[in-house]
Amino acid sequence: MPRKIAYGANAASEFQYPENSLVITTTTPDIYEKWLNYMGIKKYEIYDKVTPDPAIETIEEIKRKYEGKQISAYIGLGGGSSMDVCKYLGKLTGIPKILIPTTFGTGAEMTTYAVVSFDHKKKLLQDEAFLADAAIVDPYYLPGTPFNIMRNSACDALAQASEGYDSKLGNPFTKLFCKEAFDILENAIMNDKHDLLPYGAMLSGIGFGNSSTTLGHALSYAFSNEGVPHGYSLSSCTTVAHKFNKSAYYQRFKKTCQKLKFERLTLKQSLDEAADVIMPDRGHLDNNPIEVTKQDIVNCLDEIVNKNPLQ
Ligand SMILES: [Zn+2]
């Protein structure tokens, strides 16, 4: 876990930010200027050209651009992409990083994972050097989040909590956080208490971040490589994976996806081609509670695209 975790209302406005920080964000000035004002941050540089699924070239460009500028810390302010860029930059330069999620789902502020694109293919990386020096989780950023982003993020957090619970790498510590995260997120969605999402996502990050995600996430990359948002693809993928694994979370996960009105997924490539892309993803598949063959993957994909698993 990060050495410093600040959580709750006003956490981001009460934090003391080092001077000459580089703020990295995916949002536009009309939004982030309001945020920076709330945070009371002074004397900073800003890089606002991060796009979703950041490429390694973008990260190297930022590194070059600010070399010699004595940046004291990176502040990742935004969705998973802003935080992933900070994590990778921090590993390259050794400069401390402060991560502030604004869409609440990946739990990335708590984990040693980063997703970076190489040659237009998303790659999940893990490195102790990716861990934040400080994570700030403040529900201030939640209002105004578009419904689509909110539901995709919530679905990601739910998938991570439940896959993390079932992971072979799980232990009583990770299960404690995954179980609590799922309970909170489920309550937030089923009872429209969206202000609980940031806390649930944060606990999910601690839980799965110290175990792993599994088959649901492995399946989802076939769809995200074709442009489907990560959280959206998990709605069907994790549902089918939970069914395959006979997970205790199968019905509960499916019900929250129904409540969020996710629709069925399509795939351009053949099921066989997609299975060939998924099979080498040992980081997810080896931690799945049950062994998975290529035929199992084809069957899961068939259920996802040809039968509606959320019905
Ligand atoms: Zn995820």
**pLDDT tens, per residue, the chain with 311 residues:** 999 999 999 999 999 999 999 999 999 999 999 999 999 998 999 999 998 889 999 999 999 999 999 999 999 999 889 999 999 999 999 999 999 999 877 889 999 999 999 998 888 899 999 999 999 999 999 888 889 999 999 999 999 999 999 999 999 999 999 999 999 999 999 999 999 999 999 999 999 999 999 999 999 999 988 989 999 999 999 999 999 999 999 999 999 999 999 999 999 999 999 999 999 999 899 999 999 999 999 999 999 999 999 99
Q: What global pTM score does this model have?
A: 0.91
Position 105 scores a pLDDT of 76
Q: If 0-12 CB within 10 Å is exposed, 13-18 middle and 19+ buried, where does residue 275 land?
A: buried
Q: From ligand 1's centre to the CA of 237, what distance in Å?
A: 11
Q: Which of 80, 101, 107, 227 is nearest to 162 (CA)?
A: 107
Question: How far does the centroid of ligand 1 lie from the alpha carbon of residue 213, in Å?
Answer: 8
Distance 230 CA to ligand 1 centre (A): 7
The three-state secondary structure class of 233 is helix
Cα 106 to ligand 1 centre (Å): 6
How many A from CA of 18 to the centre of ligand 1?
30
* Spacing, Cα 17 to ligand 1 middle (Å): 28
pLDDT at 52: 82
- Record the tokens describing residue 251, joined without a space: 């019905």
Q: Pick from 45, 42, 99: which is nearest to 71 by CA? A: 45
- At 304, list the tokens: 């996802």
What token pair was written down for 218? 């492995």
Residues 99/201, Cβ–Cβ less than 8 Å = no
Ligand 1 center–CA 217 separation, angstroms: 7
**Per the structure block, which two tokens stand in for 39?**
């945070």
CB 56 within 8 A of CB 117: yes
User: What is the whole-number distance in angstroms between the Cα of residue 186 and the centre of ligand 1?
Assistant: 16
Instruction: Please compute Rg for the chain using Cα positions.
Output: 19
Residue 143: the pLDDT is: 87
Distances (CA, A) of 191 to 103, 111, 195: 19, 28, 11
Longest dimension (CA), the chain: 56
Task: Compute the CA torsion angle 204, 223, 193, 174 (nearest 10 deg).
Answer: -10
Nearest one of 214, 225, 234 to 289, comparing CA atoms: 214
Give pLDDT, residue 239: 98
Q: Which two tokens stand for residue 175?
A: 């299960």
pLDDT given for residue 204 in this prediction: 96
Could you tell me the distance, in angstroms and rounded to a whole number, from the CA of residue 223 to the centre of ligand 1? 13
Q: How far is the CA of 36 from the centre of ligand 1 (A)?
A: 27
Backbone angles phi, psi at 277, to 5 degrees: -75, -35
Q: What distance in angstroms lies between residue 296's CA and the mean position of ligand 1's atoms? A: 21
What is the distance in A from the centroid of ligand 1 to the CA of 190?
Answer: 20
Distance 23 CA to ligand 1 centre (A): 24
> What single-letter amino acid sits at 33?
E
Strands (E), the chain: 4-7, 21-25, 44-47, 74-78, 97-101, 113-118, 121-126, 134-137
